Every structure is written in structure tokens, then in C-alpha cells.
Amino acid sequence: MATLKLDNVKKRFGQTEVIHGVSIDVKDGEFIVIVGPSGCGKSTLLRMVAGLEAVSSGEIQIDGTRVNDAEPMDRDIAMVFQNYALYPHMSVFDNMAYGLKIAKTPKLEIADRVGTAAKMLELEDYLTRKPRELSGGQRQRVAMGRAIVRKPAVFLFDEPLSNLDAKLRVQMRLEIKDLQRKLGITALYVTHDQVEAMTLADRMIVMNAGVADQIGAPLEVYENPQTEFVAGFIGSPATNFIPAETLGDRPAKVARVGVRPEHAVLADAGTGQIQGKLVYAEALGAETLLHLRLQSGEMFTIRQDGTVPVPADGTLTGVDWRQSREISFGSDGHRTPNESAA
């Protein structure tokens, strides 16, 4: 595999800058997930690494070699797309072997590489089938197998699971992570799904309007978000935000306070840090989500154990939490330096 370095990489379309200088050193064998909402620039960043988009400024290196001006085929990368991009008239074997045949790899080596990848991906019984005879999950395995057989320096995944149903996405996440560990692959993986990012990443890049708002290990980003955007995007249900003036005793530079749903509890009416009215409860079995409207007008969600009794809709109640679990943000949306989650 290989290392990957992005040094202040920017992208402009005309006078409009859409990627505002992203830098990261990816270690050999590290799995990096680029996560963010639609339009944040995550796929554009991936396409620049792939050579499908030109770099406006900055530098991309693969194993210490600058590749800004290298053609995609010369970058030693393999890409797995959202739509599988399989040839419908070819068998599974031929789809997986196509890149090797173009590279004039010897037939025996092609057979060996495809056979090894097919065994790893549990596709051995499907090598003679056409893509139309496969399920969505099997087609995605074929697309991954086509990348694996090339033995590239870097794997690039562009939202590869977004076309699959929820149950199959969970299964494929586990398979991708297991495969990454077995092969020790260096990978960039783009997704808008923060659950995928949390479960797959060694480190994640959280993109916000072309800016890498935060780079770090999933739990580090979850526990210590550095911007209000990251705090609201990473975590489900999303972080609750409360205007500081509603709480009364916060430092002047604090504009809003974030509280994750699992850190808050119901309290008796008239007690706790804030007051609200229960709008409705979502009983999900193992847990219940309580949705309240605060007296200040904001909605507030509490996550509690599914066995805990739930008040009736419309009940007035207090809400409490440990102040050490708060995440404070200034008016610029950045974490205030004197506050930290415990």
C-alpha cells in the first residue's frame, strides 16, 4: 500500500473557491472517511485525488510522489463508485479481470488474482454470471473485487453503499471494514452517512462548505467537536443547541450550548436547567426518544432507556444534565477554549 498526503489542496471553478485548503497526512494502511452533507465538497476532494478533477493549488502526493499532473491511470489508485459501473455484457470474472487484461497481465496471474479476490468476497459461485443476475450487494462486491485485483496503492470509495437498503448497508459496512483490515489498504471513503463514518473510519474528515471543519478519530470528533457544525452533524439524534442567555450563567463569549440527547434527563417541573413540554415520544424498543419544546421555543431531544416510563404528551417537565457534558460555542460557531466535554 502507500501513504497519501494532501497539502493545502484547493479547488476553484472560475472565481468561486469550492475547496478551501484541505491538508492531511494519511498513513500507510489508514482508512480515512470524508463525511459531510450534500454539496460540501467531499466528492470533489476525492475526484482530485483520483485525477478526475484538476487541483487549483496545493499538492497531492502518493507515496511521496507529487501526482497533481499525473493521469488517473498513472496514479496507482482504484475507485469503487456508487453505481457499481459494471459492464452488463461481461461475466463477473471478466468484469473483475478487465483492468488486468488492459494492462496485459499474464492469463495465469489474472486467474490467480481474480480467484483469490472472489474467494475473499464470497463470489466464487458467481464468476460466470452477468451483473443482472446478481443482487445489489453482490454487484458491489464485484466492483470491490475489480479494485482489489489491481493491487493499487490507494483505494477510493465514492458513496459505495448509498444504493443499498438499510440492512444490506450494515452488512456491507462490516465486510468493507473486515476487508480493509485483512488487506491493510490505504483508503479514502466518501459518505454523507455519519453512521458509516463512525463505524468505518480510523480518522474522519468532516467537511462543511468546502472546509475541513475537523479531522480526527471518530470518538474524538464525537466527544470533542470543534465547531457547532460538527457537533450537530456527528451523532444521531443530533446535538441539542440552546441559546446561552436561556441558561443565564454562562460566560459572555458563549453564544450557544450543545447538549447531546444521551446526556440529558427529565426532571420534575420547575427544576433542572430548562423547562419544556413533551411533544411526543418515539418508542424504539431498546431506547425512547423524547421530543420536547422548550419555553424558549427550541426543540430538545432526550434519549433514555426504553424501559423507563414516559410522561403523557403535553406534560410540563424540567430537563437536567451535568454541566461538564455541555459543549459551548462562540458567536462564530467555534468551540470556546475554556469549555470541554468530560
Q: What one-character-per-residue DSSP string does 54-113 give?
A: --SEEEEEETTEE-TTS-GGGTTEEEE-TT----TTS-HHHHHHHHHHHTT--HHHHHHH
pLDDT in single tens digits along all 342 residues of the chain: 689 999 999 999 999 999 999 999 999 999 999 999 999 999 999 999 999 999 999 999 999 999 999 999 899 999 998 888 899 999 999 999 999 999 899 999 999 999 999 998 889 999 999 999 999 889 989 999 999 998 899 999 999 888 888 888 888 888 888 888 888 889 999 999 999 999 999 999 999 999 999 999 999 999 999 999 999 999 999 999 999 988 877 788 899 999 999 999 999 999 999 999 999 999 999 999 999 999 889 999 999 999 999 999 999 999 999 988 999 999 999 999 654 443
Q: Is 315 helix (H, G, I), strand (E, B) or coil?
A: coil
Q: How far apart are CA 174 and CA 176, in angstroms?
A: 6
The confidence score (pLDDT) of residue 101 equals 93
Give the per-residue pLDDT at 314: 95
Instruction: Residue 16: count other Cβ atoms within 10 Å of its Cβ.
Output: 8
Is residue 312 helix, strand or coil?
A: coil
Q: How far apart are CA 127 and CA 121, in angstroms?
A: 11
List the chain domain ranges: 4-231, 237-329
In whole angstroms, what is the distance from residue 270 CA to residue 77 CA? 60
**pLDDT on residue 203:** 97
Measured CA to CA in angstroms, residue 92 lies from 89, 126, 158, 190 at distances of 10, 7, 21, 25
pLDDT of residue 339: 47
Give me the CATH code for the 237-329 domain, please: 2.40.50.140
pLDDT the model gives residue 338: 53
Calpha distance 18→341 (Å, rounded): 32
| pLDDT computed for residue 83 by the predictor | 83
pLDDT number for residue 164: 81
Helices (H), 202-325: 218-223, 228-233, 244-247
Per-residue DSSP letters for 95-162? HHHHHHHHTT--HHHHHHHHHHHHHHTT-GGGTTS-GGGS-HHHHHHHHHHHHHTT--SEEEEESTTT
DSSP structure class, residue 41: S
Q: CA-to-CA distance for 338 and 323, rounded, in angstroms?
A: 13
Q: Which residue(s) pair with 206 in the sheet? A: 35, 214
Distance in angstroms (rounded) separating the CA atoms of residues 281 and 292: 9
Residue 276 grid cell: 419544556
Same CATH topology for 4-231 and 237-329? no
281: number of CA atoms within 13 Å, CB side?
A: 21
CB–CB of 265/304 below 8 Å? yes
CATH superfamily of 4-231: P-loop containing nucleotide triphosphate hydrolases (3.40.50.300)
| pTM for the structure as a whole | 0.90
DSSP annotation of 178? H
3-state secondary structure of 326: coil
**Whether 285 contacts 261, CB under 8 Å:** no
Strand pairing of 31-35 and 274-283?
A: unpaired
